[in-house]
């Protein structure tokens, strides 16, 4: 049975390297998106990027700067329509940090979904350090399970919740169809 899990508070005092070691997570350190071309277009995004870039982590993001820019603009364009962002698949937490910034400025919740508990803990801790700790602590939840389980256990129990899905989970055709099909 899938469920919401609590953040591991013991990770807060550790270095990122020690967090990764504790979670049996291999850090990768190569690609860092250059968000400079996207700065100056929106003061909220500028602040999110400044927070993200002020952290002392030295490992890669999986997405391009343009991807992060597009995520921000897509979520911003739904202001007032959605009350929650649901990120499916968190891996190293690069998108999670951007989404936490969106949650902070737009006043909406962020639910993280992954089948790997350690990825959830790592992404949550990375977002806490790289964005807005008070927002991460108050508006970000971690769901250990799949999107179909989340739909069954969470969304079907709520009324009138409007969500934005950021789907970056398994990349097989069958899995994407299964995940998106659970939303209908």
Domain that holds residue 52: 8-181
Half-sphere exposure at residue 29, Cβ-oriented, CA atoms within 13 angstroms: 8
Is residue 159 assigned to a domain?
Answer: yes
Q: What is the DSSP letter of 30?
A: -
pLDDT digits (tens, 9 = 90+) for 157-177: 998 889 999 998 888 899 999
Cβ neighbours of 12 (radius 10 Å): 12
φ, ψ dihedrals at 68, nearest 5°: -60, -40
pLDDT digits (tens, 9 = 90+) for 20-76: 899 988 776 656 777 788 788 888 888 887 877 776 665 656 777 788 889 889 999
Contacts of 56 (CB under 8 A, 6+ apart): 16
Is residue 1 assigned to a domain?
Answer: no
CATH of the domain at 76: 3.40.50.1100
Is residue 134 assigned to a domain?
Answer: yes
Total domains present in the chain: 1
Alpha carbon distance 7, 112 (integer Å): 12
Is residue 58 assigned to a domain?
Answer: yes
């Amino acid at each position: 049975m899938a469920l919401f899990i609590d953040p591991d508070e013991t990770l807060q005092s550790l270095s990122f390297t020690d967090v990764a070691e504790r979670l049996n997570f291999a850090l990768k350190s190569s690609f860092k998106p250059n968000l400079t071309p996207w700065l100056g277009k929106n003061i909220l995004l500028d602040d999110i990027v400044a927070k993200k870039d002020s952290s002392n982590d030295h490992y890669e993001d999986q997405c391009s700067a343009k991807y992060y820019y597009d995520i921000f603009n897509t979520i911003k364009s739904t202001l007032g329509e959605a009350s929650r962002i649901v990120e499916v698949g968190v891996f190293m937490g690069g998108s999670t940090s951007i989404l936490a910034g969106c949650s902070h400025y737009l006043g909406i919740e962020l639910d993280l979904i992954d089948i790997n508990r350690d990825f959830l803990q790592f992404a949550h801790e990375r977002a806490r350090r790289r964005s807005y700790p008070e927002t991460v602590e108050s508006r970000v939840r971690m769901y250990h399970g799949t999107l179909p389980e989340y739909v069954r256990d969470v969304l079907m129990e709520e009324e009138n919740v409007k969500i934005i899905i950021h789907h970056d989970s398994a990349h097989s055709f069958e899995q994407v169809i299964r995940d998106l099909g659970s939303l209908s």
